[in-house]
Amino acid sequence: MILMEPVKTEKAISKIEYENTLTFSVALNSTKKQVKDEVERLFEVKVASVRTFVNARGKKHALVKLQKEFKADDVATKLKMIA
């Protein structure tokens, strides 16, 4: 499994609301293509772009921006990140 868990920080929640972007912790050896394919398969959405980074603690995160016709709010609600 590529996606480990959604990130639930204040910054991640604001990206959901203002940028239509979800943030996930992902496996260190995962690629952007793998992250995109898994998000599209699991949540039945279309991904516009994926950005990845490794934080100071050595964990890899992916910022997944959804296409305009799909709402990150809906996915976050399914994941129980927001009410």
pLDDT for 81 equals 83
Asked if residue 28 is part of any domain, the answer here is yes
pLDDT for 42 equals 95
User: Domain total for the chain?
Assistant: 1
pTM attached to this predicted model: 0.93
Q: What is the mean pLDDT of residues 75-79?
A: 93
- What are phi and psi for residue 49, nearest 5 degrees? -160, 160
For the chain, what is the largest distance between any 2 Cα atoms, rounded to a whole number of angstroms?
35
Asked if residue 83 is part of any domain, the answer here is no
pLDDT for 16 equals 96
E-strand ranges in the chain read 3-6, 21-26, 47-54, 60-66
Instruction: Write out the residue range of the structural domain in which residue 73 sits.
Output: 3-78
pLDDT tens digits, residue range 21-71? 999 999 999 999 999 999 999 999 999 999 999 999 999 999 999 999 999
CATH number at residue 58: 3.30.70.330
Q: What is the dihedral of CA 35, 36, 38, 43, to 10 degrees?
A: 130
pLDDT for 7 equals 95
Rounded CA gap, 64 and 13, in Å? 13
